[in-house]
Structure 1
Amino acid sequence: MAQVFIGVGSSINRQQNIRLGIQALQIEFGDLTLSPIYESEAVGFKGGNFYNLVACFESPLAAQAIIKKLKAIEIQQGRPEKAIKYAPRTLDLDLLLHDQMIDLTIDLPRAEILTNAFVLQPLAEIAPQLKHPIMNESYKVLWENFPKSQQKLWQIDAIIT
């Protein structure tokens, strides 16, 4: 069984789409550990604010099989199959980590862990002692050293379940 971490985000009907995305992840993968939800400004384009969190679960599936299932859930939630990279989203599900696997052809560990506060902070909250497979630093330390003035991020009290 691999420990899997997924980034979950939405900027369109955020609360509803996050709730439906979490429900779909629970149906597909079982019990989830969820970080708090954070609201952040769009990164890379002008657009509405996003809600983001990180979900963790155990799975016997290979990384590629999980990615396929995540894409199917996104499409089921109304995301176009060929989505524009920097654009509003109904639901965005990104495989962040699959155990300590390093496979840069499928972006593992996901590069955004080190560059986006909305990924690193929630990851540091649910896996503070886990070490990044390339940086060999804990997510807690990586978050402590992150330039926080770079991206605005605040925790919200949205009810998602």
Structure 2
Amino acid sequence: MVAGKRVYISIGSNVDREHYVRAALDALADWFGELTVSSVYESEAVGFDGEPFLNLVVGVTTSLSVAELSRRFKQLEADNGRRRDVPKFSARTLDLDILTYGDATGPVDGVELPRGEILKNAFVLRPLAEIAPTERHPLCGQTYADLWLAYDRDQKLWPVDFDWRGQRVSRAQGVV
């Protein structure tokens, strides 16, 4: 059996949010089996005026290539109503991004790794630090927990209650 890579994936939605986040989690669980799922956070839209987003990060282990992951994620987004003929910063039903693929750096199959949003956006860094606190960013070498502690941008986000497959995966209070 081929050894898999640890991959972290961000999920976001600000249109029928709970429905599309659950659809993404269902698809990822079907593809990869066991998921490491962060708390679900609500955050203000960044880059445009819009409804708040739900965001989380999921960790999986896979032997699929970056190209195959990217293809599957784009198809999943399309299957769930994601439109590509709208401005980059706009409302969306579903957004999935590969944050890291093992320790890969630079362009891999057309995807820049690690994804720059890790260091820029609280809605990516906070849930990543929650589920992979001691793992290190492949470029800067700092742990995600240390990066979150040092994060000083003014982006608002807060944990929300969220259930998936009959389990509470996130609570509005008492989260990191």
**Displacement after TM superposition at 1:81 (Å):** 4.1
**Displacement after TM superposition at 1:103 (Å):** 1.9
**Displacement after TM superposition at 1:35 (Å):** 0.1
Q: Contact between 1:39 and 1:154, CA under 8 Å: does it hold in 2? A: yes
- Structure 1 residues 59 and 82: alpha-carbon distance in aligned structure 2, compared to 1, 3 A threshold: farther
Secondary structure, in 3 states, of the residue corresponding to 1:141?
helix
Residue correspondence of structure 1 range 83-94 to structure 2 within 5 A: 83-94=86-97
The answer for unaligned runs of 5 or more in structure 2 is: 166-176
The residue that corresponds to 2:80 in the other structure is: 77
> Could you tell me which amino acid in structure 2 is paired with residue 78 of structure 1?
G
Quick one: percent identity of the two aligned structures? 42
| 1:107 maps to 2:112 | yes
Q: Which has the higher strand share?
A: 2
The residue that corresponds to 2:19 in the other structure is: 16
Q: Aligned residues, how many?
A: 160
Runs of 4+ displaced beyond 6 Å: none
State the alpha-carbon separation in 1 of the partners of residues 73 and 87 from structure 2: 17
Q: Contact between 1:6 and 1:56, CA under 8 Å: does it hold in 2? A: yes
**Displacement after TM superposition at 1:83 (Å):** 4.8
Structure (1 or 2) with the larger CA radius of gyration: 2
The residue that corresponds to 1:131 in the other structure is: 136
Which one of the candidate residues 66, 69, 82 is aligned to 1:66? 69
Q: Which has the higher helix share?
A: 1
TM-score (norm 1): 0.95
Which one of the candidate residues 32, 35, 40 is aligned to 1:37? 40
| 1:144 maps to 2:154 | no
Q: Contact between 1:11 and 1:89, CA under 8 Å: does it hold in 2? A: yes
> Could you tell me which amino acid in structure 1 is paired with residue 46 of structure 2?
V
State the alpha-carbon separation in 2 of the partners of residues 47 and 81 from structure 1: 17
State the alpha-carbon separation in 2 of the partners of residues 102 and 90 from structure 1: 29
Q: Contact between 2:83 and 2:92, CA under 8 Å: does it hold in 1? A: no
The residue that corresponds to 1:159 in the other structure is: 163
State the alpha-carbon separation in 1 of the partners of residues 151 and 114 from structure 2: 17
**Displacement after TM superposition at 1:124 (Å):** 0.2
State the alpha-carbon separation in 2 of the partners of residues 82 and 3 from structure 1: 32
Q: Deviations over 1:48-104 (max 9, x none)?
A: 000000001100011111111111111111112445310001000000000010024
CA root-mean-square deviation: 1.1
> Could you tell me which amino acid in structure 2 is paired with residue 160 of structure 1?
W
